[in-house]
Structure 1
Amino acid sequence: MMKTALNATILTSLLTLCAVPANAHGIYLTERSKQIVLVYGEGADDMDMVKREPLIDTVAAFDDEGKPIKASHHVSGLAMLVETEAKPAFVTAVLQNGVWSRMKGGKYEKKGLDEMPGAEVSTNNIKYAVRIQSEWLGSVSALPGQTLQIVPVGPIPKLLGQKLKYQVLFQGHPVAGARVIADFVNDPDAKELVTGKDGTVTLVVRNQGLNVIHAVYNGPSDNPAKYRNVELTATLSFTLEHKPE
């Protein structure tokens, strides 16, 4: 009986994990073993990016003038690698995570309002990511394909603890009401700051290493019969160099 109860507990836990809302996670680009990788997860939890390969809409790369560089992605073991024809200044990705709905008091299911007409929440989830791959001292403009994008206003500091202003763009324009945190990897539950009319927030650079800023914005539905809004998430990642050894 104890074994049966334990198995039931494990099964319940797995079902709960499977029902975690899609909007709790994001994608971001980083380097591992000197290679660019696309990560799906939240906080320090890396989820299975390989099984989500069919959801990847695009990966792209650009030089420091914003000109496209040929880029591709492929599975390598448990990782999703991004390879570029030349050294990029910026790398981007888009992942279509699909429609998720939840009945009041229930769990998220990958269904639309046509299948769950009484759903309390129903969203189409799209996730965007930009990585500044090189030491970048100029301004970052809106990049192709990034419906929601976080851009630094001014040069990125060389040391942690300094303040940096960010602007959130929706369809290339500053947007109010986006919710932003400074450290998606190490502090995913931090209190969010909300962008004002100019789309900006000012945050302290958290890490002398990988920094991943995360933003969420609920845009209008383009298919009200299927879902009530489009929930967009965006990340901006960059790395501060450590002192020479």
Structure 2
Amino acid sequence: MRITRKLAVVASLIAGMGGADLAHSHGIYFAQRSNQLALIYGEGSDDLDVIKRQHKVKSVTAYDEQGKEVSAQLTPNGPLLVVNTDKQPAIVAGTMDYGLWSKTTNGEWQNKGKDEVPGATFSEHTFKYAVHLCRPLNGVMPVLPGQKLQIVPVGKQMPDQMGQALTVRVLYDGKPAPGAEVQPDFVNDPDSKPLKTGADGTVTIKVRNQGLNVVVATLDTPPSEPAKANQDEHKATLSFVLQHLPE
């Protein structure tokens, strides 16, 4: 009975938070699904309907080892949005404008600016970015166009083993972003305590997985539309895969 009561309390708390409260913490990242590279919208074990959010995706681009853009398209395939390219790119990137969201006095979120929600207690414009390394770096990772917030590995070589240190720099508008919150494992440990970047925009984390790794950074900035939002929230991911032992 105690367990049942505790579960009921937890359920009521979650319900009271409102679905959009949780949705605001979601991000986009790239991962393999059935041997295809797909754009995922989610957080932790959540892997939500990205097809109905396709209109919010503003760009998908791919680059070769020299940082030159190559052709890429985002194509629906069943429940997935998969990346189609003529070549095998070294880097794939995407952006999403998730829009304006305002919290009402009863705790619910509406997909509108505060100018359209009388008495809104808080409003924000959320932007999401994703960069995926399709293979190990052979040099310094470039700053990519369109990635207003970007996580860039420091140095020319990526770790190849779980547990190794990885220093990353978070850039906002191409410049170091001090105070950005970084979590090393957006998929398997999304509730971990964030680490904050220093004055040079860097922070050192440990690689969490011998497989898919999704590092996430979040930065709140003054609103680009003050009449509609209290702040802009930028969330960026850097995903890469460490190879397992041969079968």
Which TM-score applies when normalising by structure 1?
A: 0.91
Q: Unaligned 5+ residue runs, structure 1?
A: 1-9
Q: Does the Cα contact within 8 Å between 1:21 and 1:108 map onto a contact in 2?
A: no
Q: Does the Cα contact within 8 Å between 2:18 and 2:107 map onto a contact in 1?
A: no
| Matched letter for residue 24 of structure 1 | S
Q: Give, in angstroms, the shift of residue 150 of structure 1.
A: 0.3
Q: Does the Cα contact within 8 Å between 1:21 and 1:100 map onto a contact in 2?
A: no
Distance 1:93 1:238, change over 3 A: same
| Matched letter for residue 130 of structure 1 | V
- Structure 1 residues 45-194: aligned runs within 5 Å: 45-104=46-105, 106-154=107-155, 155-194=157-196
Q: Does the Cα contact within 8 Å between 2:62 and 2:90 map onto a contact in 1?
A: yes
Q: Give, in angstroms, the shift of residue 53 of structure 1.
A: 0.7
Q: Does the Cα contact within 8 Å between 1:23 and 1:231 map onto a contact in 2?
A: no
User: What is aligned with 1:39?
Assistant: 40
- Could you tell me how far apart the structure 1 residues matched to 2:113 and 2:98 are? 13
Select 1:227's aligned residue among 195, 214, 229: 229
- Could you tell me how far apart the structure 1 residues matched to 2:175 and 2:17 are? 38
- Could you tell me how far apart the structure 1 residues matched to 2:25 and 2:237 are? 13
| Matched letter for residue 124 of structure 1 | H
How large is the Cα RMSD of the aligned pairs?
Answer: 1.9
Q: Give, in angstroms, the shift of residue 244 of structure 1.
A: 1.1
Q: Secondary structure at the match of 1:61?
A: strand
- Could you tell me how far apart the structure 1 residues matched to 2:132 and 2:126 are? 20
Once the two structures are aligned, what percentage of the paired residues are identical? 47
- Could you tell me how far apart the structure 1 residues matched to 2:167 and 2:28 are? 22
Which TM-score applies when normalising by structure 2?
A: 0.90
Q: Secondary structure at the match of 2:239?
A: strand
Deviates more, 1:131-140 or 1:199-208: 131-140
Q: Unaligned 5+ residue runs, structure 2?
A: 1-10
Q: How many residues align?
A: 235
Q: Give, in angstroms, the shift of residue 122 of structure 1.
A: 0.8
